[in-house]
């Protein structure tokens, strides 16, 4: 999936509140080829509206953001990672138009 996304000219990154060491371990364990950013104070997480219930944790979300910085679409689904893959497949053509 990552290769398809990059071939479309789209960038991928992850953001969570865990520290850099946790990110490195997670990326290595899952062979992630894209950067994971640290948001310890959850500023970006709150700005994107994916803070967990009652301020605890972080919701699993995928955002499609155009090169102009405008959110094209988003999916928040905490439990089914497969839904995120389907969302990406549907969003890629719209993102290509925004490049």
**Distance in angstroms (rounded) separating the CA atoms of residues 6 and 76:** 22
84 lies in which domain range?
A: 2-98
Read off the CATH number of the domain in which 43 is found: 3.40.30.10
Per-residue pLDDT at 13: 92
pLDDT tens digits for range 1-36: 888 888 888 889 999 999 999 999 999 999 999 999
Q: How many domains does the chain have?
A: 1
Pairing of strands 36-38, 14-16: parallel
Global pTM? 0.80
Confidence of residue 37 (pLDDT cuts 50, 70, 90): very high
Tell me the per-residue pLDDT of 63-99, one tens digit each, with 9 for 90 and over.
988 888 888 899 999 888 889 999 999 989 888 877 6
Please give the Cα distance from 54 to 71 (Å, whole number).
25
């Amino acid at each position: 999936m990552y290769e398809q996304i990059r071939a479309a000219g789209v960038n991928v990154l992850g953001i969570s509140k865990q520290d850099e060491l946790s990110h490195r371990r997670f990326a290595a364990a899952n062979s992630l080829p894209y950067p994971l950013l640290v948001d310890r104070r959850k500023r970006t997480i709150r700005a994107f509206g994916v803070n967990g219930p009652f301020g605890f944790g972080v919701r699993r979300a995928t955002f499609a953001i155009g090169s102009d910085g405008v959110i094209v679409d988003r999916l928040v689904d905490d439990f089914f990672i497969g839904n995120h893959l389907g969302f990406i497949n549907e969003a890629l053509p719209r993102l290509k138009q925004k490049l």
